[in-house]
Amino acid sequence: MAKIPTYTSRSSAITTSGINRATGIPFRDFESEALIETGKMIGGIADQMLKAAEDEAVGQAKLNATLKINELQMELQTTDPMVAMSEYDTRAQAIMNEASSGLSMDAAARFKSDITGTYASGKIAVQKDSIRRGREKLEANLVTRMAGLAQSARAG
């Protein structure tokens, strides 16, 4: 049997008014751009000021550590040569840790790279001085021992 198509109607509210939507007028805000540029300039100045302050802190810490390491070298010249070589590492490391204690991470890294040369040259100087003094001590002991042996040989 043949089917007769049925039509259904739907009723709904009108979705358009028949009038086009108003087109937007482009608005250019020059004040915001100027404010952004001003912020960038102020940020650049602040970065420069922070870098200058960091440079000053690193320089001051390096100067303090260098002076203390030099004092340590002078002090170790009066101690036993073997003790001087073993004490230098621990005491110089303590000096460097104390000098870098108040620095930021970046400043502490720069300080460490800057002071490494001073630390190494100080260590070399202490070792050189310790070796020289140790050799002189051994030579003096040898001369004293030989003089003692010579005296004991003459006596008997």
Cβ-Cβ contacts under 8 Å for 119 (sequence gap 6 or more): 69, 92, 96
Determine the Cα angle at 48 with ends 45 and 50, to 5°: 110
Per-residue pLDDT tens digits for 52-87: 999 999 999 999 999 999 999 888 888 887 888 888
Q: What is the pTM (predicted TM-score) of this model?
A: 0.62
Confidence band, pLDDT 50/70/90 cuts, at residue 46: very high
**Model confidence pLDDT, tens digit, residues 136-148:** 888 888 888 888 8
> What integer pLDDT is reported at residue 131 of this predicted model?
83
Burial class of residue 64, CB neighbours in 10 A (0-12, 13-18, 19+): middle
Of residues 155, 77, 145, 89, the one with CA closest to residue 120: 89
**CB-hemisphere CA count at 13 Å for 151?**
6
